Chains A and B, each alone.
Chain A
Amino acid sequence: MSDTSPQKPAAPTPFRTLAQAAPPRTPDLVMPTGPVSDEDRMRDELEKGILFTKVESVVNWARANAIWPLGFGLACCAIEMMAIAGPRFDVSRFGAEVFRGSPRQADLMIVAGRVSIKMAPVLRQLYDQMPDPKWVIAMGACSSCGGVFNNYAILQGVDKIVPVDVYVPGCPPRPEGLIHGIMKLQEKILSSKVELGPIPRKKRKGAA
């Protein structure tokens, strides 16, 4: 307390003010207020939100997380499909909440229920009406392989008429099972190849 020089306090006191502990010093570098060079300008632009990635990853990510199922409930599995849209097994967490009524606006057909011989042409027509890219989940035992019913009236597996991406077993599968199937389909979509087509080249002057 007898020492009054501000640089070196002699004895450590129990309380020190901020001015005593960290006295202000003149800074070594003066920060500029705006971009100084071209490099600085580019760094600013990047911080505003530009990504570098492959088109394939972005497209697959968008397709996987916004699957729009077609409302195609045939039999008992349809009720469990409605249950995943319900409050307990919320499927809108996975982006698939919007069940479209028209096949022209849907990209996933969940064949939920047994497919009878009378319904098979209708199913094929609906599949043909869906625009690319489209996927099919065969939900339940009846659409995977005929299920409990092995007789004249039921198609033994919907893969006889449409290509199936994911089979979900169960009779009916629990809603968690169907959500697991949708997640597997999301994995499949994320790892699929996206055909971008030929990259257009500049026409050379004078070329035919």
Chain B
Amino acid sequence: MPLAPERVEEKLRERFPGVAFERQQGEAVRDFTLYLPADTLVEACRFLRDDPECAFAMLSWMGGADYLPRVPRFECVYSLLSLQRAARFTLKVRVPEEQPRVPSVVEVWPTANWHERETYDFYGITFTGHPDLTRILLPEDWLGWPLRKDSPLGYEEVAFTHNTPGRIKPSPALKKLAPKKVRYRAQ
């Protein structure tokens, strides 16, 4: 029998009573997503991994998102995969801007190592307990968090004549060589 996400939520609620779990609402939220507070994160993940009925042995991916005008600003998304039960489950943690710290789940799934480094690299969210939290995709001495919504795209203006100073004017000699404009004369 396939594992229903509601059953997983039920098991989490009975294992962690009193913790504020919240299901993400929205008609177009196509995957079952559960919000949980950051301090219960590691315990909940360990429970989901070790529980024989759920058996979420693999962390498929983990990422961040920036919802700038909204408070709290960031979110960390954890997508769990259970090979035995062929089921997925999504957990989310809300991360405030003033204290962007989330406990690291590296002890639960070693694969979270690089995912957390990438989220740190892009958003500046620190993961407490991470063995080696350094930049992974950008150069080590880069300043700033590029994927935040207030970081610019950093593109180079394409040089046209109207926005490049010091435009070279064609010399008068060239005008003599250019053919005269042919004007259309109605018959």
Contact = CB atoms under 8 A, between A and B. Distances in A.
Interface of A: 117-118, 146, 150-153, 156
Contacts, number: 23
Interface of B: 138-139, 142, 146, 151-156, 158
Q: Per DSSP, are chain A's interface residues mostly helix, strand or loop, or mixed? A: loop
B139 A118 contact: yes
A152 B139 contact: no
A66 to B, nearest CB: 37
Contact of B153 (A146, A151, A156): A151
A39 B155 CA distance: 74
A150 B138 contact: no
A154 to B, nearest CB: 9
Contacts of B152: 152
A150 B155 contact: yes
Contacts of B154: 151-153
A40 B140 CA distance: 75
B155 A117 contact: no
Contacts of A118: 138-139
Nearest to B142: A117
A152 B142 CA distance: 11
A153 B142 CA distance: 11
Given A117-B139, A152-B146, A153-B154, 9 more contacts: A118-B138, A118-B139, A150-B153, A150-B155, A150-B156, A151-B153, A152-B153, A152-B154, A152-B155
